[in-house]
A and B are shown apart, each in its own frame.
Chain A
Amino acid sequence: MAGVEASQAPAAGPLSIDANLLLAKPTALGPGLSTGFGIGVTRGRTLAWEARASWSTATESSISWTVTQSDLRLRVGAAVQSTLGRARAGLRVGIGPTIIHETRTRNQGAAANLTGSALGSSSFATLPAGDVEAFVALHVFGPWLFTVSGGPGASIESGNLRGGWISMMGVGWQP
């Protein structure tokens, strides 16, 4: 009986909160790997609603520029999930804005005593975006979960659709 209990999820409520480390394709930078963290809250049983926020940053260089883009993803959406032993697995869809802050620095500009906009610039952009992620939340100890998720995403920049992906791994809490 002890083995059966160990393979089943403990009784848990409809609310869960998770915090994760994040790896993603930068929303608008093109090449590179954006790293950061994200948090989310899910409420529901088989069909649940979600709210998530994540922040990540990526820095890449060309001959002339070093560019850092920080992506703040805000998502609301729904999830379909099922209990599999000690785990909860499902698929979630989220949409919302991705707010991007970009800083560009002219390589060698400081050594040439460039100042102002010649040396660098910064700007914001808000892009409509969405993600589809498969996720697994495994009950590890009491209300504590090990969570992992990932899937494709997309955003629209100046009328053009940009593809992407996002992956997260972290811990959750489901009392």
Chain B
Amino acid sequence: MKVVVLAIAVFLGGGCSDLEGLGGPASALVTFEVVATGDLGPLRPAGISSDVSLQIALVWGAQWWTEPFCIVSAESDAVTAVTDAGCRDPFGFVPASVSASVPVTIGASASLALFALPSTDLLVGGISSRVGYASLVLYDDRDGDGTLGLSKSHPTGLTGRGPGQQDTTDSADIVYGASFLTMTAPDQRVAFLQGSFDAASAFYPREGCPEPPDGFSVLSAGGFSAAAGLAASTAGTLPSEDPASCAIQQQPDPLLISIAASAPTDVAEVSCTESTLDGTARYQEPPTDEPDFSGRVTACAGLPSLGGATPPNLTQLVVSGRSTDHCKGLSHYVLRGCAQDVSCAAPDWDLTGNPPSWWPCN
């Protein structure tokens, strides 16, 4: 009888449960404490008197090489003008994907939490040794979509191209700063490492600094000069950071990042994606009618060489983006060649004997 009473008590007394199953809130994988500093008033572009929604976005970086034209010695003032107008910082941070975005107030700390690891296409390296870096970007969400809009350059001659090569509109968002803008200035970057770190990795290198720890961390470095970076690239080595400028923050310590507000014209590139990541230039056939080059800077130049195969003895017309574009970029025209290889043996076009009447590079 006692057993029956006990069984009934157990049966009736149950029913309360702390089970969560597949529901319940997901815990953040990592949380960064971010502070934006500075006065945006004098930094706002003309015609902008207030912010729509000031936010901080975590932007994972892409592996990108600049095209050779932008780093070889300029052969003329005209070429220098084109590179100034059309080449982005060869050591700058290039965004690949925006991961998270939170509202922020200048001078107040904001918590930015990540609920997912960066996808593998954002990591560089093998499965046992891969790393990704991110920059925290301070921006005004002018279009109100809750995330940082990335933009692309606007090369000429995109009309009629296939999918993925159509011209796009610039984002209305205004960038005011980034924790990691370029390797030639002090930076604070978010790092995510899986496995061991490859010290020979040239993906946003920090030669001379301690290796990042496994998982999430915040790394600091003082930066190296552009001259040192180019010299190291020529020598096949990595430019060195000042070890005294290096720092690492890792969990469970708070991960603190500070972003100083800057003029949008100085930091806009951090939101500019690149269509071509491997440094190759896309060459175009000059059209019969002169393209609209208004607002762009043009120059005639030889084909650049970084010491490999000798390029064809051709003169190219290089065209910068428009001065009003959000992102810098270049367009290349040659009289003979193929789109992906100006040195191709069987050119897709050859106008060397009959160039268009407007062709300026004779």
Query: Are A126 and B14 touching (Cβ within 8 A)?
Result: yes
With A62-B22, A113-B251: A97-B17 Cβ-Cβ less than 8 Å: no
Which of A61, A76, A100 has a CB less than 8 Å from the CB of B7? A76
When distances are taken between beta carbons in the complex, the residues of chain A under 8 Å from B19 are 28, 69, 100, 102, 123, 125, 157
B: residues with CB less than 8 A from A are 7, 10-22, 24, 26-30, 115-117, 194, 214-216, 251-252
Instruction: Say whether B7 contacts A67, CB under 8 Å.
Output: no
B14 and A30 within 8 A (CB): no
- B29 contacts which of A65, A102, A114, A159 (Cβ < 8 Å)? A114
Q: A111 within 8 Å of B by Cβ? A: yes
A39 within 8 A of B: no
Q: Which 10 A-B pairs have the closest CB atoms?
A: A125-B17, A64-B26, A113-B215, A112-B29, A126-B14, A62-B22, A118-B27, A128-B11, A123-B18, A156-B15
| Number of A interface residues in the complex (CB < 8 A) | 39
Return chain A residues, CB-CB under 8 Å to B24: 65
A95 interface hit (Cβ, 8 Å): yes
Judge whether A172 is part of the interface by a CB distance below 8 angstroms.
Answer: no
CB A107 to nearest CB in B, in angstroms, measures 9
Whether A29 contacts B117 in the complex (CB less than 8 A), given A118-B27, A127-B14, A158-B16, comes out as no
Query: Nearest Cβ in chain B — how far from A34, in angstroms?
Result: 13
Asked if A108 is an interface residue, CB under 8 A from chain B, the answer is yes
A97 to chain B, nearest CB (A): 5
Which B residues lie within 8 Å of A121 (CB)?
20
B215 touches A102 (CB 8 A): no
- Is there contact, CB below 8 Å, between B22 and A97? no
Tell me whether A150 is interfacial, beta carbon within 8 Å. Answer: no
Q: How far is the CA of A38 from the CA of B216 in the complex (A)?
A: 45
B117 and A112 form a contact (CB under 8 A): yes
112-134 of chain A: CB within 8 A of chain B: 112-115, 117-118, 121, 123, 125-128
Task: Give the tally of cross-chain contacts (CB within 8 A).
Answer: 93
CB-defined contacts of A63 to chain B, threshold 8 Å: 26, 116
Contact B29 A30 (CB under 8 A): no
**A9 smallest CB distance to B (angstroms):** 32
Question: Are the CB atoms of A97 and B29 closer together than 8 Å?
Answer: no
**Could you tell me if B12 and A67 are in contact, using CB atoms closer than 8 angstroms?**
no
A96: chain B residues at CB < 8 Å are: 7, 10-11
Residues in B with CB closer than 8 Å to A112 are: 29-30, 117, 215-216
- Shortest A137–chain B CB gap in Å is 25
A104 in the interface (beta carbon within 8 A): yes
B116 contacts across to A, CB distance below 8 A: 63, 108
CA distance A65 to B74 in the complex (A): 56
19 contacts between A and B (CB under 8 A): A28-B17, A65-B26, A67-B20, A96-B11, A97-B10, A97-B14, A104-B20, A106-B26, A111-B117, A112-B29, A112-B117, A112-B216, A123-B20, A125-B19, A127-B14, A127-B17, A128-B11, A157-B19, A158-B17
- A14 sits at the interface (CB 8 A): no
Do A67 and B22 touch across chains, with their CB atoms under 8 A apart? yes
A109 at the interface (CB under 8 A from B): yes
Residues of B contacting A125 with CB < 8 Å? 14, 16-19
Tell me the bound Cα distance from A97 to B117 in angstroms: 40
In the complex, residue of chain B having the shortest beta-carbon distance to the beta carbon of A114: B29
> Is there contact, CB below 8 Å, between A126 and B18?
no
- B22 interface neighbour in A29, A111, A156, A159, Cβ under 8 Å: A29
Report B197 CB to chain A, min CB distance, Å: 15
Contact A157 B17 (CB under 8 A): yes
B16 proximity list for chain A (CB < 8 A): 125, 158
Chain A nearest CB, measured from B249 CB (Å): 13
Shortest Cβ gap from B111 to chain A (Å)? 15
Q: From residue A75, how far is it (CB to closest CB) to chain B in Å?
A: 10
- Cβ distance A171 to chain B, nearest Cβ, rounded Å: 28
Bound-state CA distance A60–B11 (Å) is 27
**Residue of B7, B22, B26, B30 most packed against chain A (CB within 10 A):** B22
Most buried by A among B11, B13, B26, B117: B11
Closest partner residue, chain A, to B115 (CB atom): A64
Which residues of chain A are within 8 angstroms of B30 by Cβ–Cβ distance? 112
Closest to B8 in A: A95
Interface pair A158/B15, CB less than 8 Å apart? yes
User: Least Cβ distance of B225 to chain A in Å?
Assistant: 35
Least CB separation from A98: chain B residue: B14
Complex Cα gap A69–B28 (Å): 23
| Docked CA distance A97–B115 (Å) | 37
Identify A29's interface contact among B11, B13, B21, CB under 8 A.
B21
